[in-house]
Protein backbone atom coordinates (compact mmCIF):
# COMPACT_ATOMS: atom_id res chain seq x y z
CA UNK A 1 0.00 0.00 0.00
CA UNK A 2 1.13 3.59 -0.67
CA UNK A 3 1.99 5.93 2.17
CA UNK A 4 -1.41 6.34 3.91
CA UNK A 5 -0.62 9.97 4.77
CA UNK A 6 -0.06 10.72 1.08
CA UNK A 7 -3.31 8.98 0.16
CA UNK A 8 -5.22 11.24 2.58
CA UNK A 9 -3.16 14.28 1.56
CA UNK A 10 -1.95 15.14 5.09
CA UNK A 11 1.48 15.35 6.62
CA UNK A 12 2.69 12.73 9.11
CA UNK A 13 2.62 15.33 11.87
CA UNK A 14 -1.06 16.15 11.27
CA UNK A 15 -3.33 15.98 14.31
CA UNK A 16 -6.06 13.38 14.62
CA UNK A 17 -8.65 16.03 13.87
CA UNK A 18 -6.84 17.04 10.67
CA UNK A 19 -6.62 13.41 9.57
CA UNK A 20 -10.32 12.92 10.29
CA UNK A 21 -11.24 16.10 8.40
CA UNK A 22 -9.14 15.04 5.40
CA UNK A 23 -10.77 11.59 5.44
CA UNK A 24 -14.26 13.11 5.57
CA UNK A 25 -13.53 15.47 2.66
CA UNK A 26 -12.23 12.64 0.53
CA UNK A 27 -15.14 10.38 1.53
CA UNK A 28 -17.59 13.08 0.41
CA UNK A 29 -15.77 13.38 -2.91
CA UNK A 30 -15.53 9.67 -3.72
CA UNK A 31 -18.71 8.47 -2.04
CA UNK A 32 -20.47 5.83 -4.18
CA UNK A 33 -23.61 7.99 -4.29
CA UNK A 34 -21.69 10.49 -6.45
CA UNK A 35 -21.00 7.81 -9.04
CA UNK A 36 -24.33 5.98 -9.08
CA UNK A 37 -24.96 6.05 -12.82
CA UNK A 38 -21.38 6.64 -13.82
CA UNK A 39 -19.30 4.16 -15.85
CA UNK A 40 -16.46 5.07 -13.48
CA UNK A 41 -18.27 3.73 -10.39
CA UNK A 42 -15.75 0.88 -10.02
CA UNK A 43 -12.79 3.27 -10.24
CA UNK A 44 -14.34 5.49 -7.56
CA UNK A 45 -15.05 2.43 -5.41
CA UNK A 46 -11.41 1.39 -5.65
CA UNK A 47 -10.35 4.90 -4.67
CA UNK A 48 -12.77 4.89 -1.71
CA UNK A 49 -11.40 1.54 -0.58
CA UNK A 50 -7.86 2.94 -0.73
CA UNK A 51 -8.90 5.95 1.35
CA UNK A 52 -10.65 3.77 3.95
CA UNK A 53 -7.60 1.51 4.22
CA UNK A 54 -5.30 4.51 4.59
CA UNK A 55 -7.48 6.02 7.33
CA UNK A 56 -7.75 2.73 9.20
CA UNK A 57 -4.02 2.20 8.94
CA UNK A 58 -3.22 5.65 10.30
CA UNK A 59 -5.64 5.10 13.21
CA UNK A 60 -4.12 1.71 13.89
CA UNK A 61 -0.57 3.07 13.85
CA UNK A 62 -1.47 5.95 16.13
CA UNK A 63 -3.35 3.75 18.59
CA UNK A 64 -0.43 1.35 18.66
CA UNK A 65 1.91 4.27 19.25
CA UNK A 66 -0.23 5.62 22.12
CA UNK A 67 -0.63 2.14 23.71
CA UNK A 68 3.07 1.27 23.81
CA UNK A 69 4.13 4.82 24.63
CA UNK A 70 6.32 4.94 21.57
CA UNK A 71 5.78 7.04 18.48
CA UNK A 72 4.27 4.62 15.99
CA UNK A 73 6.82 3.58 13.44
CA UNK A 74 5.70 3.50 9.87
CA UNK A 75 4.89 -0.04 9.02
CA UNK A 76 2.85 -0.64 5.94
CA UNK A 77 3.23 -4.40 5.96
CA UNK A 78 -0.26 -5.86 6.13
CA UNK A 79 1.19 -9.27 6.99
CA UNK A 80 2.99 -8.21 10.17
CA UNK A 81 2.06 -9.82 13.50
CA UNK A 82 0.18 -6.66 14.55
CA UNK A 83 -2.41 -7.36 11.84
CA UNK A 84 -3.54 -10.36 13.91
CA UNK A 85 -4.99 -7.95 16.44
CA UNK A 86 -6.14 -5.42 13.85
CA UNK A 87 -9.84 -6.30 13.88
CA UNK A 88 -9.84 -6.57 17.66
CA UNK A 89 -8.25 -3.19 18.10
CA UNK A 90 -10.66 -1.51 15.70
CA UNK A 91 -13.57 -3.04 17.66
CA UNK A 92 -12.02 -1.83 20.93
CA UNK A 93 -11.67 1.70 19.60
CA UNK A 94 -15.25 1.77 18.50
CA UNK A 95 -16.97 -0.03 21.36
CA UNK A 96 -14.93 -0.48 24.50
CA UNK A 97 -14.59 2.22 27.14
CA UNK A 98 -11.35 2.05 29.01
CA UNK A 99 -10.33 4.37 31.71
CA UNK A 100 -6.89 4.50 33.18
CA UNK A 101 -6.03 5.82 36.54
CA UNK A 102 -2.59 6.68 37.67
CA UNK A 103 -1.90 4.90 40.91
CA UNK A 104 0.30 6.11 43.72
CA UNK A 105 3.37 4.56 42.10
CA UNK A 106 2.88 6.54 38.93
CA UNK A 107 1.91 3.38 37.04
CA UNK A 108 -1.18 2.91 35.00
CA UNK A 109 -4.00 0.63 36.10
CA UNK A 110 -6.78 -0.52 33.82
CA UNK A 111 -9.90 0.19 35.92
CA UNK A 112 -12.96 -0.88 33.98
CA UNK A 113 -12.20 -2.49 30.70
CA UNK A 114 -15.16 -4.03 28.95
CA UNK A 115 -14.45 -6.97 26.69
CA UNK A 116 -17.63 -7.81 24.80
CA UNK A 117 -15.96 -10.46 22.66
CA UNK A 118 -16.86 -14.06 22.39
CA UNK A 119 -13.87 -14.57 20.13
CA UNK A 120 -11.23 -13.81 22.76
CA UNK A 121 -10.31 -17.27 24.03
CA UNK A 122 -8.03 -16.42 26.89
CA UNK A 123 -7.03 -13.46 28.93
CA UNK A 124 -3.93 -13.44 31.01
CA UNK A 125 -3.48 -11.05 33.86
CA UNK A 126 -0.06 -9.91 34.89
CA UNK A 127 0.48 -8.32 38.20
CA UNK A 128 3.52 -6.30 38.98
CA UNK A 129 3.39 -4.64 42.35
CA UNK A 130 0.37 -2.42 42.37
CA UNK A 131 0.01 -2.49 38.59
CA UNK A 132 -2.54 -4.76 37.06
CA UNK A 133 -2.50 -5.06 33.33
CA UNK A 134 -5.03 -6.88 31.22
CA UNK A 135 -3.41 -8.36 28.20
CA UNK A 136 -5.14 -10.04 25.32
CA UNK A 137 -3.28 -13.22 24.42
CA UNK A 138 -2.95 -14.46 20.88
CA UNK A 139 -6.23 -15.49 19.25
CA UNK B 1 -8.49 35.07 -26.99
CA UNK B 2 -11.74 33.16 -27.19
CA UNK B 3 -13.21 30.00 -25.69
CA UNK B 4 -15.24 28.89 -22.71
CA UNK B 5 -12.61 26.94 -20.74
CA UNK B 6 -11.43 29.96 -18.78
CA UNK B 7 -9.92 30.65 -15.39
CA UNK B 8 -11.50 32.73 -12.66
CA UNK B 9 -8.57 35.11 -12.40
CA UNK B 10 -9.74 36.87 -9.25
CA UNK B 11 -9.58 33.58 -7.30
CA UNK B 12 -6.16 32.48 -8.52
CA UNK B 13 -2.99 33.01 -6.54
CA UNK B 14 -0.56 35.45 -8.16
CA UNK B 15 1.95 32.69 -8.92
CA UNK B 16 -0.81 30.52 -10.44
CA UNK B 17 -1.98 33.42 -12.59
CA UNK B 18 1.61 33.95 -13.77
CA UNK B 19 1.94 30.22 -14.50
CA UNK B 20 -1.27 30.27 -16.55
CA UNK B 21 -0.02 33.23 -18.56
CA UNK B 22 3.29 31.42 -19.07
CA UNK B 23 1.44 28.42 -20.53
CA UNK B 24 -0.55 30.43 -23.05
CA UNK B 25 2.52 32.50 -23.95
CA UNK B 26 4.38 29.23 -24.50
CA UNK B 27 1.54 27.92 -26.67
CA UNK B 28 1.44 31.16 -28.67
CA UNK B 29 5.16 30.89 -29.31
CA UNK B 30 4.83 27.23 -30.38
CA UNK B 31 2.04 28.07 -32.82
CA UNK B 32 4.21 30.71 -34.45
CA UNK B 33 7.15 28.31 -34.57
CA UNK B 34 5.27 25.25 -35.91
CA UNK B 35 2.88 27.03 -38.26
CA UNK B 36 2.79 30.74 -38.95
CA UNK B 37 2.81 34.13 -37.23
CA UNK B 38 -0.82 34.66 -38.26
CA UNK B 39 -1.99 31.41 -36.66
CA UNK B 40 -1.29 33.04 -33.30
CA UNK B 41 -4.55 34.93 -33.73
CA UNK B 42 -6.40 31.63 -33.31
CA UNK B 43 -4.96 31.11 -29.80
CA UNK B 44 -7.83 30.12 -27.51
CA UNK B 45 -8.48 29.41 -23.84
CA UNK B 46 -9.66 25.92 -24.83
CA UNK B 47 -6.33 24.95 -26.41
CA UNK B 48 -4.48 26.51 -23.47
CA UNK B 49 -6.52 24.25 -21.17
CA UNK B 50 -5.64 21.27 -23.38
CA UNK B 51 -1.92 22.10 -23.26
CA UNK B 52 -2.02 22.54 -19.47
CA UNK B 53 -3.92 19.28 -19.02
CA UNK B 54 -1.34 17.37 -21.08
CA UNK B 55 1.57 18.95 -19.22
CA UNK B 56 -0.05 18.06 -15.90
CA UNK B 57 -0.83 14.45 -16.96
CA UNK B 58 2.69 13.85 -18.24
CA UNK B 59 4.42 16.08 -15.66
CA UNK B 60 6.40 17.51 -18.55
CA UNK B 61 6.64 21.17 -17.45
CA UNK B 62 10.08 21.55 -15.94
CA UNK B 63 10.15 25.28 -15.32
CA UNK B 64 9.72 28.74 -16.73
CA UNK B 65 12.08 30.85 -18.78
CA UNK B 66 12.12 34.58 -19.40
CA UNK B 67 11.59 36.05 -22.80
CA UNK B 68 9.77 38.74 -24.72
CA UNK B 69 6.32 38.66 -26.25
CA UNK B 70 6.53 37.87 -29.97
CA UNK B 71 3.63 40.22 -30.74
CA UNK B 72 4.85 43.05 -28.51
CA UNK B 73 8.65 42.89 -28.12
CA UNK B 74 8.59 45.62 -25.47
CA UNK B 75 6.66 43.34 -23.13
CA UNK B 76 8.53 40.82 -20.98
CA UNK B 77 6.96 37.36 -20.64
CA UNK B 78 7.59 34.09 -18.92
CA UNK B 79 7.23 30.93 -20.98
CA UNK B 80 6.45 27.56 -19.43
CA UNK B 81 8.88 24.96 -20.80
CA UNK B 82 7.53 21.63 -21.92
CA UNK B 83 9.70 18.54 -22.30
CA UNK B 84 6.95 16.56 -24.01
CA UNK B 85 4.69 17.39 -26.92
CA UNK B 86 1.86 19.16 -25.07
CA UNK B 87 2.39 22.45 -26.89
CA UNK B 88 2.81 20.74 -30.24
CA UNK B 89 -0.43 18.78 -29.80
CA UNK B 90 -2.38 21.80 -28.56
CA UNK B 91 -1.13 23.90 -31.51
CA UNK B 92 -2.04 21.12 -33.97
CA UNK B 93 -5.48 20.76 -32.38
CA UNK B 94 -5.99 24.50 -32.77
CA UNK B 95 -5.09 24.42 -36.49
CA UNK B 96 -7.25 21.38 -37.22
CA UNK B 97 -10.31 22.66 -35.34
CA UNK B 98 -10.05 26.16 -36.87
CA UNK B 99 -9.84 24.66 -40.37
CA UNK B 100 -12.96 22.52 -39.88
CA UNK B 101 -14.76 25.45 -38.27
CA UNK B 102 -14.06 27.45 -41.44
CA UNK B 103 -15.49 24.58 -43.55
CA UNK B 104 -18.58 24.53 -41.32
CA UNK B 105 -19.00 28.32 -41.60
CA UNK B 106 -18.75 28.16 -45.40
CA UNK B 107 -21.68 25.73 -45.37
CA UNK B 108 -23.85 27.46 -42.77
CA UNK B 109 -23.07 31.18 -42.72
CA UNK B 110 -24.39 34.23 -44.51
CA UNK B 111 -22.86 35.76 -47.66
CA UNK B 112 -20.17 38.02 -46.16
CA UNK B 113 -18.94 35.54 -43.55
CA UNK B 114 -18.91 32.83 -46.23
CA UNK B 115 -16.80 35.07 -48.48
CA UNK B 116 -14.32 35.82 -45.70
CA UNK B 117 -14.06 32.12 -44.87
CA UNK B 118 -13.38 31.25 -48.51
CA UNK B 119 -10.56 33.83 -48.58
CA UNK B 120 -8.77 32.49 -45.49
CA UNK B 121 -9.51 28.81 -46.19
CA UNK B 122 -6.41 28.09 -48.36
CA UNK B 123 -4.09 29.45 -45.66
CA UNK B 124 -5.60 27.30 -42.91
CA UNK B 125 -5.88 24.31 -45.24
CA UNK B 126 -2.09 24.36 -45.60
CA UNK B 127 -1.62 24.67 -41.80
CA UNK B 128 -4.11 21.88 -41.18
CA UNK B 129 -2.22 19.58 -43.57
CA UNK B 130 0.98 20.22 -41.59
CA UNK B 131 -0.85 19.45 -38.32
CA UNK B 132 -2.53 16.34 -39.76
CA UNK B 133 0.85 15.03 -40.93
CA UNK B 134 2.14 15.21 -37.33
CA UNK B 135 -1.04 13.94 -35.64
CA UNK B 136 -3.21 12.03 -38.15
CA UNK B 137 -5.42 10.46 -35.44
CA UNK B 138 -6.35 13.89 -34.15
CA UNK B 139 -7.26 15.07 -37.65
CA UNK B 140 -9.37 11.95 -38.22
CA UNK B 141 -11.21 12.44 -34.90
CA UNK B 142 -12.11 16.04 -35.79
CA UNK B 143 -13.04 15.16 -39.41
CA UNK B 144 -15.31 12.32 -38.22
CA UNK B 145 -16.88 14.69 -35.70
CA UNK B 146 -17.72 17.22 -38.41
CA UNK B 147 -19.43 14.57 -40.52
CA UNK B 148 -21.38 13.19 -37.53
CA UNK B 149 -22.32 16.72 -36.51
CA UNK B 150 -23.68 17.47 -39.97
CA UNK B 151 -25.74 14.25 -39.92
CA UNK B 152 -27.04 14.94 -36.39
CA UNK B 153 -28.05 18.52 -37.16
CA UNK B 154 -29.84 17.54 -40.36
CA UNK B 155 -31.66 14.55 -38.89
CA UNK B 156 -35.43 14.43 -38.48
CA UNK B 157 -35.66 15.08 -34.73
CA UNK B 158 -32.29 16.05 -33.33
CA UNK B 159 -32.32 15.84 -29.54
CA UNK B 160 -29.95 17.82 -27.33
CA UNK B 161 -27.95 14.66 -26.52
CA UNK B 162 -27.73 13.59 -30.16
CA UNK B 163 -26.54 17.04 -31.24
CA UNK B 164 -23.85 17.24 -28.56
CA UNK B 165 -22.64 13.66 -29.02
CA UNK B 166 -20.21 14.21 -31.96
CA UNK B 167 -18.24 16.98 -30.23
CA UNK B 168 -18.28 15.03 -26.96
CA UNK B 169 -17.02 11.90 -28.70
CA UNK B 170 -14.28 13.83 -30.51
CA UNK B 171 -12.86 15.31 -27.33
CA UNK B 172 -13.18 11.96 -25.53
CA UNK B 173 -11.17 10.28 -28.31
CA UNK B 174 -8.49 13.01 -28.35
CA UNK B 175 -8.03 13.06 -24.56
CA UNK B 176 -8.19 9.31 -23.98
CA UNK B 177 -5.30 8.89 -26.46
CA UNK B 178 -3.06 10.56 -23.81
CA UNK B 179 -3.72 7.88 -21.18
CA UNK B 180 -0.89 5.85 -19.64
CA UNK B 181 -3.04 2.86 -18.61
CA UNK B 182 -6.48 1.37 -19.12
CA UNK B 183 -8.08 2.95 -16.04
CA UNK B 184 -6.77 6.39 -16.91
CA UNK B 185 -8.02 5.90 -20.47
CA UNK B 186 -11.56 5.28 -19.17
CA UNK B 187 -11.40 8.28 -16.86
CA UNK B 188 -10.01 10.58 -19.58
CA UNK B 189 -12.64 9.32 -22.01
CA UNK B 190 -15.44 10.17 -19.56
CA UNK B 191 -13.86 13.54 -18.73
CA UNK B 192 -13.32 14.44 -22.39
CA UNK B 193 -16.84 13.33 -23.30
CA UNK B 194 -18.56 15.53 -20.74
CA UNK B 195 -16.27 18.52 -21.27
CA UNK B 196 -16.85 18.27 -25.03
CA UNK B 197 -20.59 18.01 -24.47
CA UNK B 198 -20.50 21.01 -22.15
CA UNK B 199 -18.51 23.11 -24.65
CA UNK B 200 -20.94 22.31 -27.47
CA UNK B 201 -24.02 23.05 -25.37
CA UNK B 202 -22.69 26.26 -23.81
CA UNK B 203 -21.74 27.50 -27.29
CA UNK B 204 -25.23 26.57 -28.50
CA UNK B 205 -26.80 28.44 -25.55
CA UNK B 206 -24.62 31.46 -26.36
CA UNK B 207 -25.74 31.42 -30.01
CA UNK B 208 -29.51 31.00 -29.49
CA UNK B 209 -30.38 34.56 -30.46
CA UNK B 210 -28.04 34.56 -33.47
CA UNK B 211 -29.32 31.18 -34.70
CA UNK B 212 -32.96 32.27 -34.42
CA UNK B 213 -32.23 35.37 -36.54
CA UNK B 214 -30.20 33.48 -39.15
CA UNK B 215 -32.48 30.43 -39.06
CA UNK B 216 -29.47 28.27 -38.20
CA UNK B 217 -29.55 25.00 -36.27
CA UNK B 218 -29.58 25.16 -32.49
CA UNK B 219 -30.24 22.14 -30.23
CA UNK B 220 -32.22 24.35 -27.82
CA UNK B 221 -34.52 25.72 -30.50
CA UNK B 222 -37.28 23.61 -32.02
CA UNK B 223 -36.72 23.63 -35.80
CA UNK B 224 -40.43 23.50 -36.66
CA UNK B 225 -42.11 25.63 -34.01
CA UNK B 226 -39.23 27.98 -33.17
CA UNK B 227 -39.86 27.35 -29.47
CA UNK B 228 -36.82 27.94 -27.25
CA UNK B 229 -36.08 25.67 -24.28
CA UNK B 230 -36.41 27.31 -20.89
CA UNK B 231 -33.29 28.69 -19.25
CA UNK B 232 -33.85 26.29 -16.31
CA UNK B 233 -33.64 23.33 -18.69
CA UNK B 234 -30.49 24.70 -20.36
CA UNK B 235 -28.90 25.38 -16.97
CA UNK B 236 -29.77 21.85 -15.76
CA UNK B 237 -28.30 20.20 -18.86
CA UNK B 238 -25.10 22.23 -18.59
CA UNK B 239 -24.80 21.55 -14.85
CA UNK B 240 -25.18 17.83 -15.45
CA UNK B 241 -22.34 17.77 -17.98
CA UNK B 242 -20.06 19.85 -15.82
CA UNK B 243 -20.81 17.72 -12.74
CA UNK B 244 -20.03 14.50 -14.59
CA UNK B 245 -16.83 16.02 -15.96
CA UNK B 246 -15.85 17.07 -12.44
CA UNK B 247 -16.50 13.56 -11.07
CA UNK B 248 -14.14 12.17 -13.70
CA UNK B 249 -11.62 14.95 -13.06
CA UNK B 250 -11.49 13.97 -9.36
CA UNK B 251 -10.38 10.48 -10.31
CA UNK B 252 -7.23 11.82 -11.97
CA UNK B 253 -4.27 12.57 -9.73
CA UNK B 254 -3.02 15.93 -10.92
CA UNK B 255 -0.10 17.55 -9.14
CA UNK B 256 1.32 20.08 -11.63
CA UNK B 257 -0.98 23.07 -12.22
CA UNK B 258 -3.53 21.49 -9.84
CA UNK B 259 -4.51 24.84 -8.35
CA UNK B 260 -5.17 26.30 -11.80
CA UNK B 261 -7.08 23.25 -13.01
CA UNK B 262 -9.18 23.21 -9.82
CA UNK B 263 -9.89 26.91 -10.31
CA UNK B 264 -11.04 26.25 -13.87
CA UNK B 265 -13.25 23.28 -13.00
CA UNK B 266 -14.84 24.75 -9.88
CA UNK B 267 -14.97 28.45 -10.68
CA UNK B 268 -13.93 29.33 -14.21
CA UNK B 269 -16.20 26.98 -16.15
CA UNK B 270 -19.28 27.68 -14.00
CA UNK B 271 -18.58 31.41 -14.39
CA UNK B 272 -18.46 31.04 -18.20
CA UNK B 273 -21.70 29.09 -18.01
CA UNK B 274 -23.34 31.73 -15.82
CA UNK B 275 -22.29 34.49 -18.23
CA UNK B 276 -24.11 32.67 -21.03
CA UNK B 277 -27.20 31.60 -19.09
CA UNK B 278 -27.69 35.01 -17.47
CA UNK B 279 -27.87 36.42 -21.01
CA UNK B 280 -30.69 33.94 -21.67
CA UNK B 281 -32.56 35.17 -18.61
CA UNK B 282 -32.16 38.77 -19.84
CA UNK B 283 -33.50 37.83 -23.27
CA UNK B 284 -36.50 36.05 -21.73
CA UNK B 285 -37.24 39.09 -19.53
CA UNK B 286 -36.97 41.45 -22.51
CA UNK B 287 -39.49 39.34 -24.41
Which chain B residues have a beta carbon less than 8 Å from that of A39? 186, 190
* Reported confidence tier of residue B224, pLDDT bands at 50, 70, 90: confident
Distance from CA of B161 to the nearest CA of A (A): 16
> Beta-carbon neighbour count of residue B43 at 10 Å?
21
Using CA atoms, how far apart are residues B140 and B151, in angstroms rounded to an integer?
A: 17
Chain B contact residues (CB < 8 Å to A): 183, 186-187, 190, 244, 247-248, 250-251
Option in A30, A34, A43 nearest B187 (CB): A43
In Å, what is the CA distance from A13 to each residue of A1, A5, A63, A72? 20, 9, 15, 12
Using CA atoms, how far apart are residues A105 and A132, in angstroms rounded to an integer?
A: 12
Q: In the beta sheet, which residues pair with residue A124?
A: A135
Confidence (pLDDT) at A127: 37
Distance from CA of B187 to the nearest CA of A (A): 7
**Residues B266-271: what's their mean pLDDT?**
96
**Residues A77-93: what's their mean pLDDT?**
57
Using CA atoms, how far apart are residues B264 and B259, in angstroms rounded to an integer?
A: 9
Distance from CA of A105 to the nearest CA of B (A): 53
Buried b (16+ CB within 10 A) or exposed e, B247-276: bbbbbbebebbebbbbbbbebbbbbbbeeb
Using CA atoms, how far apart are residues A61 and A70, in angstroms rounded to an integer?
A: 11
Using CA atoms, how far apart are residues B167 and A73, in angstroms rounded to an integer?
A: 52
Give per-residue pLDDT as tens, A35-76: 988 999 999 999 999 999 999 999 998 888 775 444 444 445
Contact criterion met (CB < 8 Å) for A38 and B244: yes
Contact A39, B187 (CB under 8 A): no
Burial of A52 (0-12, 13-18, 19+ CB in 10 A): middle
Q: For residue A139, is pLDDT > 50?
A: no
**Residues A80-102: what's their mean pLDDT?**
55
Q: Is residue A79 classed as helix, strand or coil in its secondary structure?
A: coil
How high does pLDDT run on average in chain A?
67
Distance from CA of A11 to the nearest CA of B (A): 16
Higher pLDDT, A96 or B151: B151
Residues listed for chain B = 287
Answer whether A28 touches B (CB < 8 Å). no
Q: Single out the residue of B244, B170, B164, B171 nearest to residue B205, CA to CA.
A: B164
Worst-scoring range by mean pLDDT, A9-18, A117-126, B126-135? A117-126
Confidence (pLDDT) at A84: 53
Q: Single out the residue of A40, A16, A28, A25 nearest to residue A93, CA to CA.
A: A16
Contact criterion met (CB < 8 Å) for A43 and B251: yes
**Residues B33-53: what's their mean pLDDT?**
92
Phi-psi region of A92 (alpha: psi -120 to 50; beta: other; left: phi over 0): alpha
Give per-residue pLDDT as tens, B200-214: 999 999 999 988 888
Higher pLDDT, A122 or B118: B118
Answer whether A133 touches B (CB < 8 Å). no
Give per-residue pLDDT as tens, B60-86: 998 999 988 888 888 888 999 999 999
Which chain B residues have a beta carbon less than 8 Å from that of A35? 247
Confidence (pLDDT) at B158: 87
- As a dihedral over the C-alpha atoms of residue B216, residue B217, residue B220, residue B226, rounded to 10 degrees, the angle is 60
Amino acid sequence: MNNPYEVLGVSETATDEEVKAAYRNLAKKYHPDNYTDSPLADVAEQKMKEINEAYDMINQMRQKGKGTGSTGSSSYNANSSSSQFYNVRIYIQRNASVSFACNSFGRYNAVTPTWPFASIRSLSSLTSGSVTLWKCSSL
Amino acid sequence: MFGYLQIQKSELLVRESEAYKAVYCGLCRQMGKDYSVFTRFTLSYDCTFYAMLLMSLNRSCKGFKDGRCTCNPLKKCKFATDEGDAYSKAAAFSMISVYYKIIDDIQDSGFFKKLLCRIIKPFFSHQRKKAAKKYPDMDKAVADMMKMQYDAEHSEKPSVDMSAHPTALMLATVLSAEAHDETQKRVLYEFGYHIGRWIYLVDAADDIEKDIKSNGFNPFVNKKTGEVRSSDFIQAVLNQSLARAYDAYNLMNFTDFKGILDNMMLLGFPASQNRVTSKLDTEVNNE
